Amino acid sequence: MSDTQHEGREEIRTDKAPAAVGPYSQAVRVGDFLLCSGQIPLDPVAGTMVGGEFAAQARRVLENLSAVLSAAGASMADVVRTTIYLTDLADFAALNEIYAGYFEAPFPARSTVQVAALPRGARVEIDAMAYAPRRALKRPS
């Protein structure tokens, strides 16, 4: 979960999403905003890439993103911005169909770009920003 704070920034960690494979955090909370690092289709338990078709990779990426948000007490409904990186824009229509199953209107603002390559041969990576004010804990009456 969250355990490191520095100058108004709080690191968010969960073992329900792949661990960072470099010098970065899965997410960082700054005030009411949560900035989530890009997720690729790594299985968080096995630590291996989800193989096969694009749809399986896209779903794993979105499940990983959802897990990071959850660790911060947020959800996909709190996401206000995403950036999607595809190695082939021919996957754009398939991505849209899957993406629509994880988000509701009003959908997050978004950019989608084609890139030459992604880490570990992934076909898709998604990062996100969420507006997620800390929710007050309700105390029993």
Question: Is the distance from CB of 58 to CB of 95 less than 8 angstroms?
Answer: yes
**Residue 40's domain is classified under what CATH number?**
3.30.1330.40
pLDDT band of residue 107 (cuts 50, 70, 90) is very high
pLDDT reported for residue 20? 87
Mean residue pLDDT across the chain:
92
130 pLDDT more than 70:
yes
Count other Cβ atoms within 10 Å, centred on residue 126. 25
* Burial readout 73-97 (b: 16 or more C-beta within 10 A, e: otherwise): bbebebbbebebbbbeeebeeebee
Which domain does 10 fall in, by range?
A: 4-131
pLDDT reported for residue 30? 96
- Work out how many domains the chain is built from and give that number: 1
pLDDT reported for residue 5? 55
C-alpha 66/C-alpha 12 separation (Å) is 13
